[in-house]
Amino acid sequence: MTYCFHVGICLCLVLFQTTVMPYFHLFDRFYDLLAPFVIYLSLFQSLRQSIPVILFFGFLMDSLSGGPFGLYLTTYIWLFIGVKWIITFLHVGDSFLLPFIVAAGVLLQNCIFIGTIAISEPGTQSLSAAISMVTVQVLWAIFTGPIFLMVFNYSHGKWNKWLEKVFAKVNS
């Protein structure tokens, strides 16, 4: 059932990102919405519950994007590993750290993207445009990232409570 919740949330995020957000120019340089979800999985969910979702949505995003196949999968896996490593010495319950963790995640994702573009098509991206894009995305992540994390956590809690009620009714 947790998988259903994760898949539902991710699907909504993908649809919002590819169909609704392009209508608003304000979000032209918004970060990948699945990045905070991957961070949420690595912070609050177990390895068994996270890995299948990450693999599935990495594959899905690679199919929808114009980048080389495996790029999103790569970024999500490294993001997951990176955050898992960070929480071994940082206290995740401290909500003060959340904006910086999301920002670092978005920065890591962009670094992998830029690295891939630099290897495959050197000289096509201007340095100033790349820096401007990454800066805007990181700023968005600092201010909105923790909100996403809290919404995911809250929704998951509500989902679990609703499921408990449903099962209790079915059993009685």
Question: What are the residues binding other proteins (CB under 8 A)?
Answer: 11, 14-15, 17-20, 22-23, 25, 28-30, 32, 59-71, 74, 78, 110, 113-114, 116-117, 119-121, 124-126, 129-130, 133, 137
Nearest approach in angstroms of CB 75 to other proteins is: 10
Residue 21: CB atoms within 10 Å:
15
Integer distance in angstroms from the first to the last C-alpha of the chain?
20
Nearest approach in angstroms of CB 4 to other proteins is: 15
Q: Which is nearer to other proteins, 114 or 142 (CB)?
A: 114
Q: Which amino acid is at 56?
A: F
Nearest approach in angstroms of CB 67 to other proteins is: 5
Check the CA dihedral 76-80-86-91 and report its sign.
positive
Q: How far apart are CA 48 and CA 66, in angstroms?
A: 30
CA angle 68, 114, 60 (to 5 degrees): 35
Q: Which two tokens stand for residue 5?
A: 């919740």
Q: Which is nearer to other proteins, 14 or 97 (CB)?
A: 14
Q: Which is nearer to other proteins, 7 or 163 (CB)?
A: 7
Q: How far apart are CA 2 and CA 90, in angstroms?
A: 26
Nearest approach in angstroms of CB 87 to other proteins is: 17
Nearest approach in angstroms of CB 62 to other proteins is: 7
Please check whether residue 137 is in contact with residue 106, taking contact to mean a CB–CB distance below 8 angstroms. Answer: yes
Q: Which is nearer to other proteins, 6 or 98 (CB)?
A: 6
Q: Which is nearer to other proteins, 16 or 143 (CB)?
A: 16
